[in-house]
Amino acid sequence: STENSSYETILTSTNGRVATITLSRPKALNALNLQLTAELLEAVEAFDADPEIGAIVITGSEKAFAAGADIKEMATHSFADVYAADLFGAWDRLAAVRTPVISAVAGHALGGGCELAMIADIIIAADNAKFGQPEIKLGVIPGMGGSQRLTRAIGKSKAMEMVLTGRVMGADEAERSGLVARVVPVASLQSEAAELAATIAGMSKPIAMIAKESVNRSYESSLSEGLLYERRMNHACFATEDQKEGMAAFVEKRQATFTHR
Ligand code: CAA
């Protein structure tokens, strides 16, 4: 495992083909200020560009994944300020990452913290995780996708309830509702996330990227367009060495060894 300490608000490390980014503003419960946002996006884009990285984990502390956008930083902003800066627009860069991204969430995932978790491809939650969109209590609405991604994840009625009241949802309800893939004891969150990431990183990288892109296509297209896209991408898999290796390994009753090319 190698670590990089050039950042002040996040920690980064790699272990084999898995990269981990740990949000680290403990005194502010990992609130997403401009510096953290810039560092996280720079780190995630660097890992995305690295062919040796097959999956990225984003996590926080046991107490907080992230308690939201930094309220103190934006409290006095005007409409003109936030509009000119396109506040929160930079998060589109995380959504554009093509390597699979896992959010490993313990503790508070509120406002921008819940939205950050949802930008990832998979959320794995500790049993103490708490998800919510409390913006309405601050006199604003979500700004990093909460009204859109939460609605797609858990449906209109629950999303409306959460966005209109700021009610926090615990880990079990989040799993029941389809927001998270899995709930694990908080003590094993990091090892479970690392194992999930290693499993994905052990697959063919181009095929995993195609799979991610195809699932995401379901958000942006009609069923018939999405099915056609999926079928054509399935056909494209046959152009890779990894398809030859994966199918040969099955026929020969052995483990596949992917080249990730
Ligand atoms: N922004 C800035 N600072 C924050 C913060 C945030 N979102 N969340 C917590 N902090 C700070 C607190 O101000 C406090 O700092 P001080 O010690 O200097 O007072 C420190 O972190 C610890 O927080 P608490 O003392 O409040 O800790 P707690 O355990 O009593 O409560 C909590 C935890 C319930 C998460 C509470 O901190 C809280 O409600 N935080 C705000 C949650 C929120 O409203 N998030 C939405 C932000 S808006 C947004 O995200 C917009 C968007 O859509 C992108």
Encode pLDDT of 193-250 as tens digits: 999 999 999 999 999 999 999 999 999 999 999 999 999 999 999 999 999 999 999 9
Cα–ligand 1 centroid distance for 188 (angstroms): 25
Give the position of tokens 């913006």: 135
Q: Locate the ligand 1 atom nearest the alpha carbon of residue 166 and give its number.
A: 44
225 a catalytic residue: no
Q: What is the pLDDT of residue 136?
A: 98
132 lines ligand 1 (CB under 6 A): no
146 lines ligand 1 (CB under 6 A): yes
- For residue 59, pLDDT over 80 is answered with yes
Residue with the smallest CA separation from ligand 1 atom 37 is 67
Best mutation site among 23, 25, 29 for ligand 1 pocket (most ligand atoms within 8 Å of CB): 29
- For residue 5, pLDDT over 90 is answered with no
Q: What is the pLDDT of residue 66?
A: 98
Cα–ligand 1 centroid distance for 129 (angstroms): 15
114 lines ligand 1 (CB under 6 A): no
Residues 174 and 137: their CA atoms lie apart, in Å, by 21
3 a catalytic residue: no
**Which of 61, 76, 72 is closest to 30 using CA atoms?**
61
112 a catalytic residue: yes
Residues 107 and 60: their CA atoms lie apart, in Å, by 9
Burial 86-118 (b: 16+ CB within 10 A, else e): ebbeebebbeebebbbbbbbbbbbbbbbbbbbb
Average confidence (pLDDT) over 71-84: 98
Specify the 3-state DSSP secondary structure of 66.
strand
- Say if the ipTM goes beyond 0.90: yes
Encode pLDDT of 83-112 as tens digits: 999 999 999 999 999 999 999 999 999 999
**Arithmetic mean of pLDDT over the chain:** 97
Average confidence (pLDDT) over 150-168: 98
Q: Choosing from 112, 143, 146, 202, which is the catalytic residue?
A: 112
Average confidence (pLDDT) over 9-29: 98
Specify the 3-state DSSP secondary structure of 68.
coil
Residue with the smallest CA separation from ligand 1 atom 35 is 67
Residues 123 and 129: their CA atoms lie apart, in Å, by 11
241 a catalytic residue: no
